[in-house]
Amino acid sequence: MAELKGRILAGKILVKPSEAEEKTSGGIIIPESAKEKPQQGTVIMVGADKSDEPMEIKVGDIVLYGKYGGQELTIDGDDYLLMSQSDVLFIS
């Protein structure tokens, strides 16, 4: 992954989604058309605090988010999600 240039606006985060599962726990290979969009990823960049909401997420955090959360972006051939801190459901 290349070094990203730029900055994120206040209250926003940039997430690199995890890879979709290739197999089920039973060993069945999942075809490309049936794979579900991952709902977790690693935080790559964070914006500043908003005036009414401090930024609680840090770079490197693993976050869980809703199925339709965030705006999909492709930067230098890599897929990312740009979302508000409020779209995050869980931080690990």
Residue 15 binned pLDDT confidence (cut-offs 50, 70, 90)? very high
Residue 11 has pLDDT above 70, yes or no: yes
pTM for the model: 0.79
Task: Tell me how far apart the alpha carbons of residues 36 and 63 are, in angstroms, rounded to a whole number.
Answer: 17
N- to C-terminal Cα separation, the chain:
22
CATH number of 12-20+34-91: 2.30.33.40
Are the beta carbons of 28 and 35 closer than 8 angstroms?
no
Stretch among 23-27, 53-57, 69-73 having the lowest mean pLDDT: 23-27
Task: Tell me how far apart the alpha carbons of residues 41 and 14 are, in angstroms, rounded to a whole number.
Answer: 10
